[in-house]
Structure 1
């Protein structure tokens, strides 16, 4: 999912950029981002890359800040960011196209089901970033109230769809109890036009768009209802085993960038402008970024992999018949590169 899913959360002013970027990426594949960084890699720096998926966006600012401020250089790394719609980001890493990838827990477990030896070395999004959204005056006041209602999702894929399944799972409902309607990335207009009763969207995007239009909303955040592992940095088991020094260096430098974004989001937006084509609405981007920061912060250290959340994610996926029972779940993640 996120994500390859890694579905971008954008302010309304950036939605056009997203749409155009998706079309271009679909036609041209992945693109590399690195220009605009004042930090020039030192001679002899080790070249590594990370597949971030989709289009450049402020949600990736921890990486941009880490590069721009020289944190990767300090640990001897020359980092390239690869964006673009890639059907299988984990597969791109195994194929040698990326050193690391940025994917969600469900994506990783799905890959491991296919015997791909990949491991999460640091979960950046400590909270699953999507929510179910309804108008404040909706009769849907609890998840159980969803029964019989129409719910709009971009499609039956990605973080929004997985998040919806988790919310239904929490409420002891199934897909048969609701009407799931694929509406593309038109959640806001669909809800405003009453074409659907509820929508799934990113907690830092659609609620903000609706509020700007004067619509008060009620949200049901996935993170507040069912624990799912969201996006993190993933490496191959082989690389972690043979070159843990590089893996740890990359993770620690990224977490340093993440800390800076949390402390100074205004600076992060300014830095991101060098990496995000068309980012001119800095106020809107800052609003989105400030709404994103809470999803990066959990109960423990930044980047921490919570075993209980991994257990819950695996249990949900097995019950939903997404994967078979997992016997080696502890091999899917590590905290050795975080702590």
Structure 2
């Protein structure tokens, strides 16, 4: 599979080679999960600290725009590695809503052990419980897992989904749209709380999907099925480098926020650190002995059953169709 040859923006030479510049690095493109918020700082940390370089990669990091677009980028060859919400991947692979099933991608590691998907509103907007969403307008990106999973969440939370309106937004505009009260709520991850509160100067109201969907994983790292088949050791090395950056970020979120600011001048390092602090418990599983990055096939099967039970995907999808367990850390 051909990899992107463009050099990374804001590259300070971190990935150019090992000592003496003798190592030939493979150039790959990595998309963040959603914009350039603190929750995605770990990729920049892996780059800044040389983890990617040491693994043999020169990584160009670009902002992603949610699970739907990120899956398309992998399948279309615009990127080699991206994080997506695993539930979004299951919906895509299962043919949610009668849409054509999307193949050609595979997950190789977990980023978060629990879903961070949520509906976010602000104090004073009239939303305190899931039922309050009826008659309200939510902005989100078209391919967002929050949006795609909403029918299942609504069913379990006793919300009439037909009474909730969605309108399109982008990763860059959602916070501003909510802060200006152009909509009543947005699709967002729970770790976005400090960022929206800093922008809107109001208290955020969160309706986490995990209140009703406790088996669901959060983001997972995916690559193309063909790349994984042809380059299993490269996938393992890239995954290990990224997870090393993830562990460093949640261990020292202030440092990660500073590194993000270096690569993304518009970033707020304090908000980034706050997001990473909130994300820490989602990365470190509460179950003893589960390593960072691990994925459990039985738990994924339960997630598939939830989606099938709510009518979002038809029967037939298996965990192995979406995850290459041989490449998952400590599998």
* Unaligned runs of at least 5 residues, structure 2: 1-5, 95-100
Cα 1:31–1:158 shift into 2, 3 Å: farther
- Match of 2:257, SS state, is helix
- Residue 212 of structure 1, CA deviation: 7.6
Match of 1:254 among 224, 232, 242: 242
Aligned partner of 1:47 in structure 2 is 26
Aligned partner of 2:3 in structure 1 is none
Aligned partner of 1:100 in structure 2 is 81
C-alpha distance in 2 between matches for 1:301 and 1:47: 27
Spell out the pairing of 1:78-227 with structure 2 (5 A cutoff): 78-83=58-63, 88-113=69-94, 114=101, 116-133=103-120, 142-143=129-130, 145-146=131-132, 148-154=134-140, 157-176=143-162, 178-182=163-167, 184=169, 185=173, 196=184, 199-206=186-193, 209-210=196-197, 215-216=202-203, 218-226=205-213, 227=215
C-alpha distance in 2 between matches for 1:275 and 1:265: 16
- Match of 1:273, SS state, is helix
Deviations 1:14-37 (A, max 9, x none): xxxxxxxxxxxxxxxx99446135
| RMSD (CA atoms) | 3.5
Cα 1:147–1:85 shift into 2, 3 Å: closer
Deviations 1:280-328 (A, max 9, x none): x322332233233333333332112233442243234434554332343
Kept in 1, the 8 Å contact 2:284–2:292? The answer is yes
- Of the structure 1 ranges 239-248 and 41-50, higher mean CA displacement relative to structure 2 is found in 41-50
Kept in 2, the 8 Å contact 1:31–1:82? The answer is no
Deviations 1:205-232 (A, max 9, x none): 2465348866445532112321333322
C-alpha distance in 2 between matches for 1:92 and 1:249: 21
- Residue 194 of structure 1, CA deviation: 9.6
* Unaligned runs of at least 5 residues, structure 1: 1-29
C-alpha distance in 2 between matches for 1:195 and 1:63: 31
- Match of 2:39, SS state, is helix
- Match of 2:321, SS state, is helix
The normalised TM-score by structure 2 is 0.75
The normalised TM-score by structure 1 is 0.74
Aligned partner of 2:304 in structure 1 is 314
C-alpha distance in 2 between matches for 1:93 and 1:326: 23
- Of the structure 1 ranges 42-51 and 83-92, higher mean CA displacement relative to structure 2 is found in 83-92
C-alpha distance in 1 between matches for 2:62 and 2:126: 43
- Residue 240 of structure 1, CA deviation: 2.5
Spell out the pairing of 1:26-65 with structure 2 (5 A cutoff): 32-33=8-9, 35-36=11-12, 38-42=14-18, 43-53=22-32, 55-65=35-45
